[in-house]
């Protein structure tokens, strides 16, 4: 029994409910939510340490033993993501304090963010497929509210699309769960894995696994990413940053969990499909990233490219590729949040999202320019920044297994990422300055500090990769040896 | 034209109490029989919605001066808090305790902490349902 592992979900949920009572007290709301997130971070860190000494932790809710009850399972993979998610959310919230405006804060903005984080952390931690669905829904309901909050025409249009696509995919999710339960009679992930191994992955199970693949592809933006750029460019920057950093990653996490723990017997079908989907995602994302002049579209397509790249690791399926994917996943959460915040700051300062209407920003706002430069290098995978190690390891995995096409596409995508952001940099930051010193809007410290924190994190993750390597290696080991997870869950 | 709703109002006055009794019955029977917080809460909410239909929103507001958003929040808070409460006693999250007491007149009664949890669920359901109905009715 390890009650501690439920807290990364319960603290944000409880905070979200508690904040409903404090609707008018904005300052108090800010303090409560930031303290709760810090507490979540500290607890996640403690759990991560505990896993290294005691192995995978699990908690049976209400003392119902698996496979009968629902449970939370904390392994290094899920805890690394929980920790990163809480950290990124904290930075985005600090940005929100200074940019979101009172109207939002009075319309339950913080409760929704808090519930969203609770849902995200719950999805990472749960060891039960139906519970995963529930946590997904908590997260999605909060995100529906956040995307529509503000009520601008663009937001309403995009939120209808976003909701429609997610309701449909949740429905498919539910159907897939029902099929799986009908076939195997259990929903505990470890127990499912055992049963699938016993009966062998029959064609019907492979079909069900493809249904899951479709669901999580919709959520993660793998191949079925067409809804993503529009939806992620509608809400205000702080919300877009939380979305871009966290929501697709939950889908990616679910894909990794399901296809390493449960449906790993037919890689020639499922993993090949994932590989093809990842390849097309990368190509589509790359074309999108260089096709637009709207900075929000550019960075949204960058999210898509990263999804494809991370899933190369899953398609390749070697231990080293898993390590690479995990590094890259953590890196991408931090850097995408940073990218969205920087782009949001640019839009706030210049009042336009068209990159060709702005130039010479680096003269007016040198800090912003240099931060953008760093994030560009980090995304391109220049050492010693955090993107480097992930790219190298995924590449190494791809070479080991002879997936040269994926390897080539993965590294070509890096060039497209670099080119798309360089275009922003050359257009908007270099050249003659268009903003007179008198018209210059002051760059508020509150907007820079979260960006600085995240930049430090990307540098720190790159330079101090040694520090997290213990956890990443352990996480990759669990992913490539499902029996570790199964033993931890089913052996009392 | 003024609608004559004397019959509806008269019946509602009686029926509301029957519905409320049923709600309480369902709520308490939920432990071993069909029922429980969710269903009890829905039935309770239906009583309030019936009042809204028979009388108008303003009249009912004066009679029941409750902010239903707060009710929903309190309910949800109780639900999570009872879950965490178990961890304080060193048992797994969401664990429930129960004990049989001998209460005069009622005889053997089993009291359990799950009732608190269910009460939270009921409050959350009532709050959410009534809030939704009120929000929709505003647009009409």
pLDDT digits (tens, 9 = 90+) for A70-93: 999 999 999 999 999 999 999 999
- CB B73 to CB A20 under 8 A? yes
Give the minimum alpha-carbon distance from B122 to chain A in angstroms, rounded to a whole number. Answer: 16
Average pLDDT, stretch A456-476? 93
Reply yes or no on whether the pLDDT at A414 is more than 60.
yes
- CB B93 to CB A10 under 8 A? yes
Beta carbons of A136 and A143 less than 8 angstroms apart: no
- CB A62 to CB B95 under 8 A? yes
Question: What is the H or E stretch that residue A303 is in?
Answer: helix A295-316
The whole-angstrom distance between residue A443's C-alpha and the CA centroid of its chain comes to 28
- CB B94 to CB A18 under 8 A? no
Distances (CA, A) of A125 to A247, B43, B128: 15, 35, 28
pLDDT band of A492, cuts 50, 70, 90: low
Q: How confident is the model at residue A151, as a pLDDT?
A: 82
Give the minimum alpha-carbon distance from B90 to chain A in angstroms, rounded to a whole number. Answer: 8
Reply yes or no on whether the pLDDT at B18 is more than 80.
yes
Rounded to 5°, angle at Cα A483 from A477 and A485: 70
Which chain B positions have a beta carbon within 8 Å of A59's beta carbon? Answer: 92-93
What angle in degrees, to the nearest 10, is found between the helix axes of A203-220 and A270-291? 20
Give the minimum alpha-carbon distance from B97 to chain A in angstroms, rounded to a whole number. Answer: 10
Q: How confident is the model at residue B139, as a pLDDT?
A: 56
Which chain B positions have a beta carbon within 8 Å of A6's beta carbon? Answer: 87, 93
Q: Is B94 on the interface with A (CB under 8 A)?
A: yes
Reply yes or no on whether the pLDDT at B21 is more than 60.
yes
Lowest mean pLDDT among A152-166, A290-304, A349-363, A464-478: A349-363
Which chain B positions have a beta carbon within 8 Å of A1's beta carbon? Answer: 91-92
Shortest CA distance from A2: residue in chain B: B92
Which chain B positions have a beta carbon within 8 Å of A17's beta carbon? Answer: 73, 76-77, 80
Rounded Cα distance between A95 and A109, Å, is 13
Q: How confident is the model at residue A356, as a pLDDT?
A: 87
Burial of residue A79 (CB within 10 Å: 0-12, 13-18, 19+) is buried
Tell me the β-bridge partners of B111: B99
Rounded Cα distance between A122 and A485, Å, is 18
Contacts of A379 (CB under 8 A, 6+ apart): A302, A335, A339, A387, A417, A418, A421
Rounded Cα distance between B25 and B39, Å, is 11
B37-88 residue pLDDT tens? 899 999 999 999 999 988 888 888 898 889 999 999 999 999 999 999 888 8
Reply yes or no on whether the pLDDT at A438 is more than 80.
no
Nearest to A3 among B69, B76, B93 (CB): B93
A192-251 residue pLDDT tens? 999 999 999 999 999 999 999 999 999 999 999 999 999 998 999 999 999 999 999 999
Q: Is B98 on the interface with A (CB under 8 A)?
A: no
Q: Is B92 on the interface with A (CB under 8 A)?
A: yes
Beta carbons of A340 and A237 less than 8 angstroms apart: yes
Residue A176's CB: how many other CB atoms inside 10 A? 23
Give the minimum alpha-carbon distance from A60 to chain B in angstroms, rounded to a whole number. Answer: 7
pLDDT band of B1, cuts 50, 70, 90: low
- CB B84 to CB A10 under 8 A? yes
Burial of residue A125 (CB within 10 Å: 0-12, 13-18, 19+) is buried
B78-128 residue pLDDT tens? 999 999 988 888 888 888 888 888 888 877 877 888 889 999 999 999 999
Rounded Cα distance between A352 and A357, Å, is 7
Contacts of A337 (CB under 8 A, 6+ apart): A88, A91, A92, A241, A242, A244, A245, A454
Nearest to B92 among A17, A18, A61 (CB): A61
Distances (CA, A) of A261 to A131, A188, A255: 16, 11, 10
Task: Report the b/e string of B122-134 with b at 16+ CB within 10 A.
Answer: bbbbbbbbbbebb
Residue A160's CB: how many other CB atoms inside 10 A? 12
Rounded Cα distance between A354 and A426, Å, is 13
Shortest CA distance from B87: residue in chain A: A3
Rounded Cα distance between A127 and A190, Å, is 8
Q: Is B96 on the interface with A (CB under 8 A)?
A: yes
Q: How confident is the model at residue A62, as a pLDDT?
A: 87
Q: What DSSP state is assigned to residue A491?
A: -
- CB B92 to CB A60 under 8 A? yes
- CB B91 to CB A10 under 8 A? no
A266-314 residue pLDDT tens? 999 999 999 999 999 999 999 999 999 999 999 999 999 999 999 999 9
Which chain B positions have a beta carbon within 8 Å of A13's beta carbon? Answer: 80
Reply yes or no on whether the pLDDT at A255 is more than 60.
yes
Which chain B positions have a beta carbon within 8 Å of A21's beta carbon? Answer: 70, 73
Shortest CA distance from B76: residue in chain A: A17
Q: How confident is the model at residue B32, as a pLDDT?
A: 79
CA end-to-end span of chain B, whole Å?
18
pTM, two decimal places: 0.94
Beta carbons of A371 and A424 less than 8 angstroms apart: no
Tell me the β-bridge partners of B110: B100
Distances (CA, A) of A80 to A305, A326, A474: 22, 9, 11
pLDDT band of B136, cuts 50, 70, 90: confident
Average pLDDT, chain A: 93
Residues of A with a Cβ under 8 Å from any B Cβ are: 1, 3, 6, 10, 13-14, 17-18, 20-21, 59-63
- CB A1 to CB B92 under 8 A? yes
Cβ-Cβ pairs closer than 8 A, A with B, add up to 42
Residue B31's CB: how many other CB atoms inside 10 A? 14
Scanning A4-128, the segments in alpha helix (DSSP H) are 7-20, 26-54, 76-99, 102-106, 109-125
Rounded Cα distance between B86 and A109, Å, is 30
Place of tokens 């048992």: B91
Distances (CA, A) of A275 to A204, A380, A397: 21, 21, 13
- CB B84 to CB A14 under 8 A? yes
Six token digits for residue B61: 């507001």
The counts of H helices and E strands in chain A are 22, 2
Q: Is B76 on the interface with A (CB under 8 A)?
A: yes
Distances (CA, A) of A399 to A319, A321, A407: 13, 10, 7
Scanning A221-269, the segments in alpha helix (DSSP H) are 228-233, 237-242, 248-257
DSSP per-residue letters across A411-477 = HHHHHHHHHHHHHHIIIIISSS--S-TTTPPP--HHHHHHHHHHHHHHHHHHHTHHHHHHHHHHHHH
Rounded Cα distance between A470 and A76, Å, is 9
Torsion over CA: A149, A154, A156, A158 (sign):
negative
Which chain A positions have a beta carbon within 8 Å of B70's beta carbon? Answer: 20-21
Rounded to 5°, angle at Cα A288 from A287 and A292: 115
Q: How confident is the model at residue A411, as a pLDDT?
A: 92
Q: How confident is the model at residue A72, as a pLDDT?
A: 94
Six token digits for residue A225: 């990413």
The whole-angstrom distance between residue A17's C-alpha and the CA centroid of its chain comes to 24
Give A310's Cβ-side CA count (13 Å radius).
Answer: 31
- CB A6 to CB B77 under 8 A? no
């Amino acid at each position: 029994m390890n009650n501690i592992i439920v807290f990364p979900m319960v603290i944000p949920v409880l905070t979200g409910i508690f904040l409903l009572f404090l609707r008018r007290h904005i300052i108090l709301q800010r303090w409560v939510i930031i303290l709760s997130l810090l507490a979540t971070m500290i607890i996640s860190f403690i759990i991560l340490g505990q896993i290294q000494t005691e192995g995978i932790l699990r908690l049976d809710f209400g003392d119902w033993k698996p496979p009968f009850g629902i449970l939370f399972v904390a392994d290094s993979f899920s805890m690394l993501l929980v920790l990163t998610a809480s950290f990124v959310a904290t930075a985005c919230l600090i940005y929100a304090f200074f940019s979101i405006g009172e109207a939002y804060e009075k319309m339950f903005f913080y409760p929704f963010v808090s519930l969203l984080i609770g849902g995200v952390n719950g999805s990472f931690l749960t060891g039960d497929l139906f519970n995963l669905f529930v946590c997904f829904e908590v997260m999605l309901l909060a995100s529906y509210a956040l995307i529509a909050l503000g009520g601008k025409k663009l937001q309403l249009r995009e939120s209808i699309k976003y909701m429609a696509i997610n309701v449909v995919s949740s429905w498919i999710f539910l159907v897939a769960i029902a099929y799986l339960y009908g076939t195997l009679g259990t929903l505990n992930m470890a127990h499912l894995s055992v049963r699938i191994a016993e009966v062998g992955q029959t064609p019907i199970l492979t079909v069900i696994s493809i249904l899951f693949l479709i669901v999580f592809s919709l959520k993660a933006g793998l191949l079925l990413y067409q809804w993503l750029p529009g939806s992620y460019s509608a809400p205000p920057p702080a919300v877009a940053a939380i979305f871009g950093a966290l929501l697709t990653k939950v889908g990616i996490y679910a894909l990794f969990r399901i296809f390493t723990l449960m449906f790993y017997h037919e890689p020639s079908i499922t993993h090949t499909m994932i590989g093809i989907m990842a390849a097309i995602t990368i190509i589509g994302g790359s074309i999108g990233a260089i096709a637009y002049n709207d900075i929000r579209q550019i960075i949204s397509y960058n999210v898509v490219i990263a999804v494809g790249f991370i899933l190369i690791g899953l398609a390749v399926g070697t231990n080293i590729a898993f390590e690479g994917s995990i590094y890259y996943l953590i890196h991408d959460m931090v850097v995408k949040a940073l990218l969205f915040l920087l782009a949001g700051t640019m839009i706030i300062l210049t009042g336009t999202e068209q990159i060709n209407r702005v130039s010479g920003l680096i003269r007016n706002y040198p800090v912003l320019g240099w931060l953008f430069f760093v994030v560009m290098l980090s995304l391109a995978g220049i050492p010693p920044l955090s993107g480097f190690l992930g790219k190298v390891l995924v590449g190494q995995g791809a070479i080991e297994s002879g997936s040269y096409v994926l390897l080539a596409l993965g590294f070509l995508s890096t060039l497209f990422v670099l080119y798309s952001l360089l275009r922003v940099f050359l257009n908007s930051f270099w050249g003659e300055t268009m903003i007179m010193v008198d018209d210059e809007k002051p760059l508020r410290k509150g907007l820079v500090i979260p960006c600085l924190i995240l930049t430090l994190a990307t540098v720190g993750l790159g330079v101090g990769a040694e520090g997290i390597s213990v956890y990443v290696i352990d996480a990759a080991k669990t992913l490539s040896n499902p029996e570790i997870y199964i033993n931890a869950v089913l052996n009392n | 034209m003024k609608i004559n709703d004397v019959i509806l109002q008269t019946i509602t006055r009686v029926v509301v109490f029957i519905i409320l009794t049923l709600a309480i019955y369902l709520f308490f029977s939920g432990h071993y029989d069909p029922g429980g917080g969710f269903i009890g809460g829905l039935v309770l909410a239906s009583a309030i919605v019936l009042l809204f239909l028979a009388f108008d929103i303003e009249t009912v507001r004066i009679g029941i001066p409750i902010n239903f958003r707060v009710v929903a929040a309190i309910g949800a808070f109780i639900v999570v808090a009872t879950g965490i409460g178990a961890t304080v006693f060193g048992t797994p999250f969401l664990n429930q305790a129960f004990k049989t007491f001998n209460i005069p007149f009622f005889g053997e009664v089993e009291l359990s902490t799950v009732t608190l949890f269910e009460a939270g669920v009921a409050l959350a359901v009532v709050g959410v349902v009534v809030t939704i109905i009120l929000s929709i009715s505003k647009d009409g």
